[in-house]
Amino acid sequence: MNKELLHPETWNPTIDPYSIPIEEIDMANPDIFMYGDAIFPLFERLRNEDPVHYCPESCVEEAGAYWSVTKYKDIMSVDTNHKVFSSEGAITLFDPDEDFTTPMFIAMDPPKHDIQRKAVNPVVAPSNLKNMEGLIRERTEDVLDNLPRNEVFNWVDIVSIELTTRMLATLFDFPFEDRMKLTRWSDVSTARPGDGVVESEEQREKELYECLEYFTRLWNERVNSEPKTDLISMLAHNPETRDMDPMEYLGNLILLIVGGNDTTRNSMTGGILALNQNPDQYDKLRNDHSLIKTMVPEIIRWQTPLAYMRRTALEDIELGGKLIKEGDKVIMWYVSGNRDEDVINNANSFIIDRERPRSHLSFGFGIHRCVGNRLADLQLEILWEEILKRFDNIEVVGEPTRVRSSFVKGYSDLPVIINS
């Protein structure tokens, strides 16, 4: 197969998506995602011409063959059928290294999935969210009150990363002075060697072992203390999770760190970018702050912070007229389903007062729906409430730098200025 057009070394955003033979489209290529909107014509073509699309061999090393599911309703049918489409083993394209496996409840099937998820549910229960609201607001106010004025700064570093890392430190009751370790471990856990985060798989594993070592010290402190409402204490004191082995503990830590980091962090940045790209919507928001409630889920749809989730077929099954074989990798492209015009009106438009804003796919559906979705909503709502109290305009003054990943749809840099 000639993969030249979509190969990471030769891809460029000026390529006409209709000039590529459809059987050669390979959405696993992380370079495509570095060019922002360049992904959407490719996904639109797949939705229209081949909505359940087979890639026999990805250009990305170790990704192998996989199915792309690109339409909203097909994604829903996969996501809600865990008896056929399993999460066991891996939720990304890449199978784990046999010598370095990190089981986590998002990559488990019932009953073990249900037991471990239940152990952490209380931290994001409505009563606990209400208790955390004051602290989230206080930390948001502190970050915003110290932003530079009349000079360009990177919104990703100064606001998005700082706020999400503070929140993670709160959820884990993690030493505040070491909180940036959480961001680093989140980035390392989802990185592939050569993507600009780690140079080798050995470096990645070494850093994640350091993560495990740090959190094991915290576990040992919590397990010998009275139960508290942080995530480590909940896992250490729950009879169903207190005896998990170290790599399973690490797997669940990675899940909770990434889950608490990527969705919120990249939506905080994506929201600023979307409003600058759609000034009519920014004006609408300035004139009616109550629209924050519908804008937040629209930002999460528009951004789709995790572009996909993987499942593995447990048996032969037909989907969209295609026969998926037992053992095949099936990729649910949430980022494509969220732009499906058959389900979402004006799906390519950013509209902050949509009638049904929460119908997006970004949090998944079924038993694996994001456990922290309401916390993510709350953090973003508070951020925008506090932004609008302080700043009439946060202006984007340059192109964003995007993360080189087809899994995490995020940013490393967004230059902005606040003029006073």
Domain ranges of the chain: 17-417
Write down the pLDDT at residue 105: 45
pLDDT above 50: residue 174: yes
Digit-coded pLDDT (tens) for 313-369: 999 999 999 999 999 999 999 999 999 999 999 999 999 999 999 999 998 876 556
Rounded distance between C-alpha atoms, residue 396 and residue 142, angstroms: 22
Write down the pLDDT at residue 125: 67
Determine how β-strand 153-154 pairs with β-strand 415-417. Answer: antiparallel
pLDDT above 60: residue 218: yes
Write down the pLDDT at residue 35: 87
Rounded distance between C-alpha atoms, residue 246 and residue 195, angstroms: 27
**First-to-final CA distance of the chain:** 56
- pTM metric for this prediction: 0.87
Between 9-18, 78-87, 168-177, the lowest mean confidence (pLDDT) is in: 9-18
Write down the pLDDT at residue 312: 93
Write down the pLDDT at residue 393: 96
pLDDT above 60: residue 249: yes
Write down the pLDDT at residue 41: 94
Q: Return the percentage of the chain with pLDDT > 90, whole number.
A: 53
**pLDDT band (50, 70, 90) for residue 2:** very low
Write down the pLDDT at residue 114: 55
Write down the pLDDT at residue 118: 58
Digit-coded pLDDT (tens) for 391-400: 999 999 999 9
Can the peptide bond before residue 246 be classed as cis, meaning omega within 30 degrees of 0? no
Digit-coded pLDDT (tens) for 98-113: 554 455 444 445 555 5
DSSP assignment of 39-59 equals: HHHHHHHHHHH-SEEEESS-S
Domain 17-417: give its CATH superfamily: Cytochrome P450 (1.10.630.10)
**pLDDT band (50, 70, 90) for residue 124:** low
How many Å is the maximal CA-CA distance in the chain?
A: 63
For residue 349, give every residue at least 6 positions away whose Cβ sits within 8 Å of its Cβ, in sequence order, or none: 278
Write down the pLDDT at residue 104: 47
Q: Do 87 and 237 meet the contact criterion of CB atoms below 8 Å apart?
A: no
Mean per-residue pLDDT, 138-150:
96
Hey, is 324 helix, strand or coil?
strand
pLDDT above 90: residue 259: no
Q: Which residue has the higher pLDDT, 120 or 42?
A: 42
Hey, is 71 helix, strand or coil?
coil
Write down the pLDDT at residue 331: 97
* For the ranges 237-251, 299-313, 367-381, the one whose mean pLDDT is highest: 299-313
What is the rounded average pLDDT for all residues in the chain?
86
